[in-house]
Chains A and B, each alone.
Chain A
Amino acid sequence: MRRIALFVLSTLSTMVLLFGYSTSSSGPLATSAPTSIQSGPITSSSGSTSESASGSTSSGSTSSGSSSSGGTASGSGSPGSTDVTGSVADTQWGPVQVRLTLTGGTISKVTVLQYPSGNGKDQEINDYALPILTQETVDAQSAQIDMVSGATVTSNGYLESLQSALDQARL
């Protein structure tokens, strides 16, 4: 169901994982077809192209800082609906608490009871800057980019994408 190609390159250690699911279907994160995995003819000086059996190992790092705990159910005003209030979850952004309203077993409303005011820790002023527009003629190499943010860097478009070229180049 899942195959992984792991590329390890030399000076800039870049590793690529492609994973595809046999039950892929349309949706915001889905691609239109099951992913065909190609590891490509990568030869790297560090020499390690490896297969990784993932998804089967337990990891202590997967849980968030929050503990899973039950909610509190109570009847609400409208007939046939029930409110379920979750416990306060301590997330990386701060405490979050939500209340779900169930109508006929379906979530009909989500109410945020508590949420941190900011989106995270304050950033230093130089943590990121305005984008710099490039010249028409500038290609990825001369722009000296490390990674690409773009709309075609999906499993379908990946192999033709700049990101793929970067992953395979020995920058």
Chain B
Amino acid sequence: MGMPISLALRGRHAHDERGEAAWQAALEILHEADRMFSTYRNDSVVSRLARHELSPEECPDEVRQVLALGELAREQSGGAFDVRRADPGGGTILDPSGVVKGWAVDRAVRAFDGLADTDVCLSAGGDLVCRTAMAGSPGWRIGVEHPHDPARVVAVVPVRNGAVATSGLAHRGAHIVDARSGRTPAGVASVTVVGPDLVWADIDATVAFALGGDALDWLRRRRRQSGLVVWADGSTALFGAGS
């Protein structure tokens, strides 16, 4: 889960100790999630669960929440998204990473809830959550990176309170696969989803990307979200309320 975490604060507490304390608290929440869920750490709860050193009934409720989210995502994606996959030995590998990032950032941003008159934008590897609380705040302007040219933006999304997630091949190499076929999808360069919370924005962006050519149809059936699909040929399609 090595990734850059970026924070932008503006307003009353942008430069004071309370802003700094909230940042440290947010980091601790992210580290805590990493300790619990990382499949790359032998001592994480998930790794211990996989080795049967920990029984599921001994797992914290956070683990059950994430498993529940993963299961919902599997159902709602028709199986394209799955936190579990078969391993060659016949068992099941549990890898909830696709749920954890959004879940963890949604939790971490709550560390800033108490900062009056302060806007916050917290990003983890290009997926982010925005909050505005400043009087007369203009809101945040979020650039959507061009999938073929990281130096350019393909769109701008105004967000006051909400989350933006983008999935694309550049992000995770060929790691996004359709869980049903095991294949990396073609046809889509990137999918950006804007929604109320990052856990679902991130899941939906990942699912839509995995669906390839079916991405837009699937996204248009989701509620309360907007966003952007960039096709492999560079053309774009907006979706969401009003589209």
Binding site for B on A (CB under 8 A): 11-21, 23-32, 34-35, 46, 52, 54-55, 57, 59, 61-62, 64, 66-73, 84, 86-87, 89, 91-93, 96-98, 100, 102, 105-108, 110-112, 115, 119-121, 123-124, 126-134, 136, 138-140, 143-155, 157-158, 160-164, 166-167
Contacts and interface: CB of A to CB of B under 8 A. Distances in A.
B57 A70 contact: yes
B7 to A, nearest CB: 5
Contact of A160 (B35, B107, B150): B150
B143 A120 contact: no
A149 B127 contact: yes
Given A13-B10, A96-B64, A119-B195, A29 B3 contact: yes
A67 B41 CA distance: 24
B141 A146 contact: yes
Nearest to A23: B40
B192 A149 contact: yes
B2 A34 contact: yes
B241 A130 contact: yes
Contacts of B128: 147, 149
A46 B55 CA distance: 49
A28 B156 contact: no
Contacts of B194: 128, 131
Interface residues of B, number: 113
Contacts of A21: 1-2, 38, 40-41
If over half of A's interface residues share one DSSP class (helix, strand or loop), that class is named, otherwise mixed; here it is loop
A162 B151 contact: yes
B107 to A, nearest CB: 7
B152 A20 contact: no
Contacts of B155: 131-134
Contact of A112 (B39, B40, B41, B71): B71
Contacts of B238: 130-131, 133
Given A96-B65, A148-B143, A129 B56 contact: no
Given A147-B6, A155-B3, A55 B67 contact: no
Contact of B67 (A110, A127, A151): A110
A126 B153 contact: no
B197 to A, nearest CB: 5
A124 B23 CA distance: 26
Contact of B144 (A25, A54, A89, A149): A149
B4 to A, nearest CB: 4
A3 B185 CA distance: 35
A12 B141 CA distance: 13
B141 A18 contact: no
